[in-house]
Amino acid sequence: MARGIARAVSFGGRATTGWCSYRRVTVAVCLGNLVAALLVLRSLTAPASFTPTAPNRETVHYTEEQIRRVEESIRIRREAEPVELVQAVEKLKKVFAREEKRRKELPLVLKQKISYDIIQRLQDLGITAASHSKEGTLKRALEFNWRMVMEDIGLWIPEEVSHTVYDDKPENEPEEEEIVAGPPLSPQCNAELHTDYDGAAVRWGLTHHKETAADCCQACLDQAKNAKPGELKCNIWVYCPSEFGCFSPDKYEHKHQECWLKQADHPKLNFKDKYSESYRDAHPNAPVVVPWMSGVVSA
């Protein structure tokens, strides 16, 4: 009994193994790939069969009144086009193109005059091809005074152009005085425009600003009056009236309304009126005119 069961199992196992063999599985896979390839090929060659058909659209019918209105709107748009303006612009473009072409060439009258003058001058030389060579003719032509021809046709240019500047200002007329902002300065201030005096600093202008030059001078007078024994007494004031600041060769930026109070037993000028050319060469940022104004107060 046990042997029969074992044989049956063995027979069944061999049968199952024979049905699912490697060869049969390979054939089944190949058939599946072939079917898939055929389906893909069909979808590529006949895509319309897979796409849904679009629904039929109903034909729109317009009435005679609607058609008439459409035609009327088209006619109005055409009439509104600036046809004449476009044509005028095209004509102007052609005219400008012709004028531009003419400008690149010499006028015909000028060409004829130059040609006539050249022929006439060559004939006046009295040279024939039989008696002289071409080199001689060319030499004589080049030595000719063509400046006269250029002058005749209006092409003469002088070698030098003289220009004289006439000063029509009366000799004894006084110079216009510059206007200084603020109230008039006291005669005791001895104000001098475009002037910078040297001296020991009693009050630094970097932190000492005044509204006007008169206020700066008054500050100098007040400091000298209220100075304690042993302190320097101000006798020089220097003010920056320019809204753009004032130049100085030091490292600081001197701004508008700076008021410097100084003291010197023998006041000396730093700069007066204009900076010299050599100084401006050494200091490229220096202006032409001295921007400061200052004065030595009277005792």
Q: How confident is the prediction for the chain on average, in pLDDT?
A: 76
**CB-based contact 158:232 (threshold 8 Å):** no
Residue 186, token pair as written in the block = 């006291």
pLDDT in tens, 198-227: 999 999 999 999 999 999 999 999 999 998
Torsion from C-alpha of 11, 15, 17, 22, nearest 10 degrees: 150
Distances (CA, A) of 104 to 98, 99, 101: 10, 9, 5
The domain limits of the chain are 84-158, 187-296
Residue 19: what residue type? Answer: W
pLDDT band at 37 (very low <50, low <70, confident <90, very high): confident
Q: Hey, what CATH topology would domain 187-296 get?
A: Hepatocyte Growth Factor (3.50.4)
pLDDT of residue 83: 76
pLDDT of residue 106: 59
pLDDT of residue 12: 44
pLDDT in tens, 102-124: 655 656 666 667 767 776 766 66
pLDDT of residue 175: 59
**CB-based contact 237:219 (threshold 8 Å):** yes
Q: Which of 62-76, 86-100, 143-157 has the lowest mean pLDDT?
A: 143-157
270 vs 246: CA distance, rounded Å? 14
